[in-house]
Amino acid sequence: MSHKEDNEGKKSSHRTQLYASVPRSCMPIVYHPDYNITFMGLEKLHPFDAGKWGKVIRFLKEEGLISDGNIVEAHEATEEDLLVVHTKRYLNRLKWSLVVASITEIPPLLFLPNFLVQRKVLRPLRTQTGGTIMVGYLRGLLCFPGGGFHHCSSDRGGGFCAYADITLAIKFLFERVQGISRATIIDLDAHQGNGHERDFLDDKRVFIMDVYNRYIYPGDGFAKRAIKRKVELDWGTEDSEYLQKVELHSEGALNEVRPDIIVYNAGTDILDGDPLGGLSISPQGIVKRDEIVFRAAKRRGIPILMVTSGGYQKKTARIIADSILNLHRQGLIGAEVLEGEGSSSLVTSMMCTSVSVGSKLTAV
């Protein structure tokens, strides 16, 4: 992408490898093995399955949807990329193991030298963040089984969210891509998405819908002021009520403001039995939920970028894979078109799906 301002008035931007062109032969599934966090068993001290992205990819390969040859390889977000949103002060704080231990909720990390924490914990999260930004560039009907670090804002992390990938993806699109000046975030993780809410609190270009358990982390009253369509759920909410509310409010949000892109945070911590989510949605309910959102986007011809956020049971990887397979069977995602730089219209890439397997490890 050129450093120079384009004729649409986009801002001059730094050079990045995250907006490189992608061969048309590729399925728009963005993944890298570095997404998965494994280090001396420390990842097991947090309830999140830090290897679920690799499992999703394996399931999709077993079902014949993808192969090694048609996956787009994710790139790690550089410091320059991160500075599009994050403050230098915040990134410098991540050079202290104590700070990372607090954000990731893994106390033993504070005893490790920071170079190991950078390599084994933060690098995977930076690679997932790069993947989310790349998915935005592949814009279309995009499915990204990863990312969704919705508790991180420009100057603070939390809930295992060290980088604000949702904010970054939207800011990159606003700055670099013609035809994108309005975004809608549909956040259906069980937890309030206070990170992107704080980042876009005063930004009228971003409409936020958030459906979450009102009684759990983070309970950020200040950030709630950014939510344009707020749906607070009670403990143990089940499929019938949940799906009715998702459909009603998704349709309402998209009728109220027509965005140029939807960022869909599809956390699976709504699953019955999740130790952090406190809701009671079945696996079939999660699959149906994703279908509702994708159908709403497709009917309106709006590109959608999906990230998978929280989910704290081992079976969530299978559910994510099943949902992606269902979206493909329903004709809601596919690999017909991959448009890169210079695309004249977002609608031309409406049948492009981008599955990037990486996700937030937190009480998302």
Quickly list H helices, 201-315.
Answer: 221-224, 239-256, 283-300
Quickly list H helices, 9-82.
Answer: 52-62, 79-82
The CA-atom distances, in angstroms, between 217 and each of 18, 118, 137, 189, 363 are: 32, 26, 31, 12, 7
**Of 53, 88, 87, the residue nearest 71 (C-alpha):** 53
Peptide linkage before 218 cis (omega within 30 of 0)? yes
Strand order in the sheet with 229-233: 141-144, 304-307, 261-265, 183-187, 206-213, 229-233
3-state DSSP assignment of residue 137: helix
**Of 120, 20, 116, 114, the residue nearest 73 (C-alpha):** 20
* Residue 359 φ/ψ region, left for φ over 0, alpha for ψ in the -120 to 50 degree band, beta for the rest: beta
> Do residues 193 and 165 lie in contact, with contact meaning Cβ atoms separated by under 8 Å?
no
- Report how far residue 145's alpha carbon sits from residue 11's, in angstroms, rounded to the nearest whole number: 30
Is residue 151 part of the annotated active site? The answer reads yes
> Do residues 162 and 147 lie in contact, with contact meaning Cβ atoms separated by under 8 Å?
no
Which residue is listed with tokens 């604000």? 164
- Report how far residue 356's alpha carbon sits from residue 147's, in angstroms, rounded to the nearest whole number: 8
- Report how far residue 170's alpha carbon sits from residue 184's, in angstroms, rounded to the nearest whole number: 10
Q: Measured between alpha carbons, how far apart are the two ends of the chain, in Å?
A: 33
The residue annotated as part of the active site, out of 75, 86, 150, 151, is 151
Q: Is the dihedral of CA 104, 264, 334, 65 positive or negative?
A: positive
Residue positions annotated with a catalytic role: 151
